[in-house]
Amino acid sequence: MRVGKTEVVDTFAEAFGMWGARVIITADTKNWARAAAQSFTGFATSVIRCKCEAAVECEISDTDTPDLRPGISVLLFAMSEKDMSARLVERIGQCVMTCPTTACYNGLENGTTVPVGQRLRFFGDGHQIAKVVGGRKFWRIPIMGGEFLVDDVFGVQPAIGGGNLLMLGRSGRTALRAASGAADAMRDVAGVFLPFPQGVVGSGSKVGSRYKGMIASTNEAYCPTLRGRVENSALPEGIAAVYEVVVNGLDENALREAMRRGIQAAAERGVDYVSAGNYGGTLGQYKFHLYELLESN
């Protein structure tokens, strides 16, 4: 199917089930909130090595945050409910609590909860104070900068990770411009995030490797330099670079909408091909057919 000058390949993106949480970080100023969010979402591109995936969802004005200070909404996904608690405790404890003037709140009201503040409170070494207001329990942990405030529990819910689009270009610049444009368009959808740098992956991977202990390795089918070298190359002649946009979402509809917008944005930038990565449908529970996404517009 062609969208403008772009050929959209008849294929699907394969995604899998994860668990997700929304974390609201506030601070006295927007800059400190951003600093905490940046630290919180660092080294969180892929569960393959980072144990979780995280990125900023959006900035929140000081009229809409729980404590009426400037805030940032961050999404964090991990592979299990148990992992969620561990990852949230690690990252809030090491990246948010350490950032001056911050506080950290649960941003998902429904669903299952996992302990976070009730584990972080031990940092208070016995001087921590529990407070309950309007049925919401949080902890005041005395710190050198004053107090750190954190919700006792955080909501988690089943989510979807691994939604993706591949941008194939006859020039690297075209492919990257399309991938960046797609990432920008996808990021505007509430409930999704793009865990890789600026939303774009320069070194997409396949599952497994010839080397023992490597659970993922380079996706040779999409490596331009290996065309002619490997038998399973998926690249048409003339493709110079492939960039992947990976997207995770709290629900299927958000992910579909993000991917649809991503395809449109890439096509507007004249990329040669838009494709998607999958494992033949054998690994993930979710399949996002690119044609169906476009037809649902």
Partner 1 sequence: MHTELELTTAPEVPIEAECLSPAKIKGLSQSGIEHLAMMHGNRKVRVGDFFRVTGNGQSSLRLEGDLSRVKYIGAGMKEGEVRVNGSAGMHLGAGMSGGVIRVSGDASDWVGPEMSGGRIEVMGNAGHMVGSAYRGQRVGIMGGEILIHGNVKNELGSAMRRGLIAVGGQAGDFVGVNMRAGTIVVMGGMGIRAGAGMVRGSIISFEPVELLPTFTYSCWLRPTFLRFYLCHLGQSGFEIDDDHMGGRYRRYCGDSVEENRGEILVFDSR
Whole-angstrom distance, CA of residue 93 vs CA of residue 212: 34
Q: Among 20, 66, 71, 199, which residue interacts with partner 1 (rule: CB under 8 A)?
A: 66
Q: Which of 146, 99, 151, 77 is nearest to 120 (CA)?
A: 151
Q: How far is the CB of 183 from partner 1 (least distance, A)?
A: 34
Q: How far is the CB of 68 from partner 1 (least distance, A)?
A: 6
Q: How far is the CB of 198 from partner 1 (least distance, A)?
A: 32
Q: DSSP assignment, residue 236?
A: P
Binding-site size for partner 1 (CB under 8 A) equals 18
The window from 30-38, 45-53, 140-148, 222-230 that contacts partner 1 (CB under 8 A) reads: 140-148
Parallel, antiparallel, or unpaired for β 136-143 and 200-201?
A: unpaired
The H helix count followed by the E strand count for the chain is: 7, 18
Whole-angstrom distance, CA of residue 150 vs CA of residue 37: 15
Q: Among 48, 129, 207, 214, which residue interacts with partner 1 (rule: CB under 8 A)?
A: 129
Q: Which of 157, 155, 161, 165 is nearest to 193 (CA)?
A: 161
Whole-angstrom distance, CA of residue 175 vs CA of residue 158: 32
Site string for partner 1, 83-112 (x = CB under 8 A): --------------------x---------
* 181 Cα distance to chain centroid: 17
- Contact between 117 and partner 1 by CB under 8 A: the answer reads no
- Contact between 146 and partner 1 by CB under 8 A: the answer reads yes
- Contact between 144 and partner 1 by CB under 8 A: the answer reads no
- Contact between 121 and partner 1 by CB under 8 A: the answer reads no
Task: Give the nearer residue to partner 1 in terms of CB position, either 20 or 66.
Answer: 66
Task: Give the nearer residue to partner 1 in terms of CB position, either 1 or 129.
Answer: 129
Q: Which of 187, 175, 4, 161 is nearest to 77 (CA)?
A: 161
The window from 11-19, 125-133, 158-166, 235-243 that contacts partner 1 (CB under 8 A) reads: 125-133
- Contact between 64 and partner 1 by CB under 8 A: the answer reads no
- Contact between 15 and partner 1 by CB under 8 A: the answer reads no
Q: Which of 194, 202, 198 is nearest to 218 (CA)?
A: 202
Q: Among 10, 59, 147, 292, which residue interacts with partner 1 (rule: CB under 8 A)?
A: 147
Q: Which of 137, 105, 140, 132 is nearest to 22 (CA)?
A: 105
Task: Give the nearer residue to partner 1 in terms of CB position, either 71 or 161.
Answer: 71
Task: Give the nearer residue to partner 1 in terms of CB position, either 33 or 265.
Answer: 33
Q: Which residue's structure tokens are 């579909």?
A: 256
Q: Report CA-CA distances (Å) from 60 to 20, 56, 65, 66, 74.
A: 19, 11, 7, 10, 10
Asked whether the beta carbons of 161 and 16 are under 8 A apart, the reply is yes
Q: How far is the CB of 140 from partner 1 (least distance, A)?
A: 5
Amino acid at 43: F
Q: Please, which of residues 212-271 interact with partner 1 by CB under 8 A?
A: none
- Find the helix or strand (DSSP H, E) in which 167 lies: strand 153-169
Q: Please, which of residues 267-296 interact with partner 1 by CB under 8 A?
A: none
Q: How far is the CB of 126 from partner 1 (least distance, A)?
A: 9
Structure tokens at 110: 């429904």
Task: Give the nearer residue to partner 1 in terms of CB position, either 87 or 121.
Answer: 121
Structure tokens at 254: 């958000």
- The residues of the shown chain that bind partner 1, judged by CB under 8 A, are 26, 66-69, 103, 127, 129, 131-134, 136, 138, 140, 146-147, 149
